[in-house]
Amino acid sequence: MRSYTHIAGAILLFVTLAYFTNLDHVIIGIFFASWGSVFPDIIDRLSGKHRGIGHSIFWLIPFALMCFWNLTVGVAMLLGFISHVFLDILTMYGCPVLYPLWKTDFVCFGKKRRIKTGTN
């Protein structure tokens, strides 16, 4: 998926959670949710393999530890990352969520119901 799709999904998820839980500093949270939603692609671009180590769920550990430093930033980064991985699982190719340990792509739905990236 394109970066603006991931950003929109992360913002929607964060704003919904912030509304129901009364999180403080929503604007800062929107920024970090947006940044967290493109984080996997940035890491994969640096490593040279698309949908590789950056899409691994092991990144949830440092993002969860961020919640001890600042709850809003940590939750926003977690939601941005989770929304990115979930949206990639819905695509034709899936997402290797256990990448260093298991390189099989996880997919959702049957082939005809998956999202084709780059299409309307």
Is residue 98 in some structural domain? yes
Q: CA nearest 11: which of 27, 90, 39, 23?
A: 27
Longest Cα pair distance anywhere in the chain, in angstroms?
43
Residues 28-69: pLDDT tens digits?
999 999 999 998 888 888 877 777 777 788 888 888 998 999
**pLDDT tens string 78-98:** 999 999 888 887 877 777 776
Within-domain flag for 8: yes
The number of distinct structural domains making up the chain is: 1
Residue 24's SS3 state is coil
In a domain, 118, yes or no: no
Closest CA to 100 of 31, 42, 37, 53: 53
Q: Which domain holds residue 107?
A: 3-113
pTM of the shown model: 0.82
For residue 120, tell me if it sits in a domain. Answer: no
